[in-house]
Structure 1
Amino acid sequence: MSIMALSFTLIFIMITILVSLWQKLGLEKDILIGTIRSAVQLLIMGYVLQFIFDTEHPLFLVLIPFIMISVASWNASKRAEGMSGVVWRIAVSIACTEIITMGLFIGFNIIEPIARYIIPMSGMIIGNSMIVSGLFLNHMKREVDASRGEIEALLSLGATARQAIHASLKRSVKASMIPTIDSMKTVGLVQLPGMMTGMIVAGASPVEAVRYQILIMFSITSAAAVTSIMLSQLCYRLWFTKDIRLRRL
């Protein structure tokens, strides 16, 4: 794609800003900031990846995912403002998901252990895990607020913190996984995912592109389950005080 053709894509941003102005949504500043940030971040990442792929230094296979996990954890933690210690819990959940997923990829020789495969796939796994983490925390806050009376009643009857909040945890885990599962049901019929589309546009065989997309969809679904369940186990005590009373967040 030429620079001229790329510049024409700003038309889509102009349409978005005009809609915001027309409907008085007040999103113009956020749209402009998001446009500039996304363009700059992607361009920088493009040059960084080009350098990494050329050097093939193994240090980058650890450094880049570490940076991704750190940024993803910080971003997802915004859904749980006021909860101390939530960032490292998210980071542990995403890191374990990344290690398990990449371990299976490499262990079963599904992908080659080189930067060209590991880094892009790590980005997809970590990015999806970040979304699942944010959804879980968001739903969990709502569930606890809605079920406060039930949780406190269970605590008064002698239930442990884990027992009292179990129903809310279960509903929140389920809610955080629904978008991933729904996308599996409609992929190929309603949407053609980015990886598959990108490979086809780049000239790869559609059948080969579909195989890689199936790999990504299945691994993302597993990652969503692992991240959500692990985060639920690490975070549920944050809703309680040391003497097992429900906090007000």
Structure 2
Amino acid sequence: MNLAVNGLSLTFAVTLVFVALVISFHEKIGLEKDMIISVFRAIIQLFIVGYLLKFIFHINDVWLTLLMMLIIIFNAAANAKKRAGKLRSGFPISFIAILTSTGVTLGLLVLSGAIKFIPSQIIPITGMIASNSMVAIGLSYRSLLAQFKDERQPVLERLALGATAKQASIAIIRESIRTGMSPTIDSAKTMGLVSLPGMMSGLIFAGIDPVKAIMYQILVTFMLLSATSLGSVIACYLAYRSFYNEREQLIDL
């Protein structure tokens, strides 16, 4: 089956953006400028990436593939860092967490034979894993910042009773990990009943048997659960130290 997507159909699709712009303007939401910028950025970035991927897929070079993976992970870490607020070492922590979760998940998939180490498979999967880890880590950071502010007194009391920084913070760490993982878990619960996820829909559009498309989607779901759990755990256990000084005293951020 050939998809009839061309310049004309994309031009008509732009009218859908105007619907969102009209709603934002009418309801005085104030997002018109951000919407227009995001649309133009998306178009430019996607075309650049499209031609770049076409080149990389044609070259099929291991080092070029690894470089592209690092660029994806670097950008994901930079975006996750924006959610870190005043946490110390927000970017290094995000980079370590995303690199580890992506590396472990991809390594298991390659070793099991589920995917091959070729650009056309590795790069899109890396993007899926890194983006989901980025979102999970960002949510974990927000939860850490909010809970350390709200639960400051109980944490101080635990420290006064002789608890270590980790013991005083463990409940907050666990809740933050849970917050980071929740969207992926909720998505998995409703998959097939509420939504037909991206990979499955894309494969069906491409003419793949729906049953085979489902098998690929199950693989992706397990992959993302693994990545978000690893990313959230690593980020939270590294980031909570930012709320303490070298004497394990709670500080204000």
The TM-score, its normalising length taken from structure 1, stands at 0.98
Partner of 1:31 in structure 2? 35
The AA in structure 2 aligned to 1:52 is I
Shift of 1:60: 2.0
Match of 1:248 among 236, 240, 252: 252
The AA in structure 1 aligned to 2:133 is S
Query: In 1, distance between residues paired with 2:220 and 2:77?
Result: 21
Shift of 1:82: 2.0
Query: In 2, distance between residues paired with 1:149 and 1:91?
Result: 31
The AA in structure 1 aligned to 2:77 is S
The AA in structure 1 aligned to 2:184 is T
Match of 1:121 among 118, 122, 125: 125
Q: Note the 1:161-180 alignment, pairs <5 A.
A: 161-180=165-184
The AA in structure 2 aligned to 1:18 is V
Q: Note the 1:4-43 alignment, pairs <5 A.
A: 4-43=8-47
1:225 corresponds to 2:225? no
Moved more, 198-207 or 63-72: 198-207
- Deviation string 1:42-96 (CA, Å, 9 cap, x unpaired) is 1111111111111101112211111111111111111122223111011001101
For the aligned residues, what is the CA RMSD? 0.9
Partner of 1:63 in structure 2? 67
Partner of 2:82 in structure 1? 78
Query: 3-state DSSP class of the match of 2:235?
Result: helix
Query: 3-state DSSP class of the match of 1:8?
Result: helix
Structure 1 unaligned segments of length 5 or more: list them: none
Q: Note the 1:81-120 alignment, pairs <5 A.
A: 81-120=85-124
The answer (yes or no) to whether the contact 2:65–2:123 under 8 Å persists in 1 is yes
Q: Note the 1:182-197 alignment, pairs <5 A.
A: 182-197=186-201
Query: In 2, distance between residues paired with 1:25 and 1:83?
Result: 30
1:181 corresponds to 2:185? yes
Partner of 1:152 in structure 2? 156
Query: In 2, distance between residues paired with 1:178 and 1:236?
Result: 19
Query: In 1, distance between residues paired with 2:199 and 2:23?
Result: 29
Query: In 2, distance between residues paired with 1:163 and 1:23?
Result: 47
Query: 3-state DSSP class of the match of 1:124?
Result: helix
1:135 corresponds to 2:145? no
Partner of 1:214 in structure 2? 218
Query: In 1, distance between residues paired with 2:88 and 2:113?
Result: 40
Q: Which has the higher contact order (CA 8 A, sep 6+)?
A: 2
Query: In 1, distance between residues paired with 2:215 and 2:232?
Result: 26
**Aligned residue pairs, count:** 249
Shift of 1:200: 1.1
Query: In 1, distance between residues paired with 2:30 and 2:78?
Result: 26
Query: 3-state DSSP class of the match of 2:20?
Result: helix
Moved more, 227-236 or 77-86: 77-86
The AA in structure 1 aligned to 2:217 is Q
